[in-house]
A and B are shown apart, each in its own frame.
Chain A
Amino acid sequence: MGGRLNARVARDIAARNGVNHNEVLRRAYLFVARNQTLSPSVRYQAQLQLNNFGRYTRPGTVKNRCTETGRGRGILSEFGLCRFQFRLKALNNELPGVKKASW
């Protein structure tokens, strides 16, 4: 990790690893649970299995945080930076193609 590693960033990294690790299995269960051509009991079992996955296996728990400071709000997702770090780096010419508007 290049930037600051605080507890919230560490949690997010754990969530990302969990999602990556369980993704294929979760997709398979999702396919069975959402497939209307299968029998309801099988679909129900698949849904129960889905509910048994941990919290940090769902893609929705992953949050893009600032890669420099770990800030959770005001992130420009294209750069993975919070608005202040974006400004600092842009003024420092560290973001290719980004320059301050003036007209």
Chain B
Amino acid sequence: MSRVVAPARLAALTKLRCSIFNTSYNPSSVRTGAKYLKARLRGPSMVKYYPPKTFTIQDINRMFPEMNLVDEAEETRLEDLRALKVRGKGPPKKAKTAADSRRAARKK
């Protein structure tokens, strides 16, 4: 046979439990806003989501031009462009007058 425990004793038990575990005793379940204070701050972890900026040779050259670091990829690119230009595959000349423009020769 289970015995019915008096509500007052149950309330006293809850109150004691609250004092032991350091929580607020709120028998009427009023919204006290405590959850906004208890929740952990999410900002610090949010800020760390993206990895920190990594520096490239271009960045270092821009910041310290006096170091004269050689950017291999950029050197290769310029070398290739020079080779193309020698073979006449460079960019076309800019038109000096409206008559030179290829636009003028285009069908209307």
Which A residues are within 8 Å of any B CB, using their own CB?
1-3, 9, 13, 16-17, 19-21, 23-24, 27, 30-37, 59, 62, 64, 67, 80
Task: Report B-chain residues with C-beta under 8 Å of the C-beta of A62.
Answer: 46
Tally of contacts, chain A with chain B, CB under 8 A:
62
Q: Is the CB of A19 within 8 A of B51?
A: no
26 pairs from A and B in contact (CB 8 Å cutoff): A1-B50, A1-B53, A1-B54, A2-B52, A2-B53, A3-B50, A16-B49, A17-B47, A19-B42, A19-B43, A19-B46, A20-B44, A20-B47, A21-B43, A23-B41, A23-B43, A24-B41, A27-B36, A27-B39, A33-B33, A34-B31, A35-B31, A36-B31, A37-B30, A37-B32, A80-B49
Closest to B30 in A: A36
Q: Is the CB of B51 within 8 A of A2?
A: yes
Q: Is the CB of A3 within 8 A of B42?
A: no
A1 to B53, CA, bound (A): 3
The digit string for B55-84, where 1 denotes a CB below 8 A from any CB of A, is 000000000000000000000000000000
Place the interface of chain B in its size category: 20 to 34
Q: Is the CB of A32 within 8 A of B33?
A: yes
Is B4 engaged at the interface, CB distance under 8 Å to the other chain? Answer: no
Q: Is the CB of B53 within 8 A of A64?
A: no
A30 to B32, CA, bound (A): 11
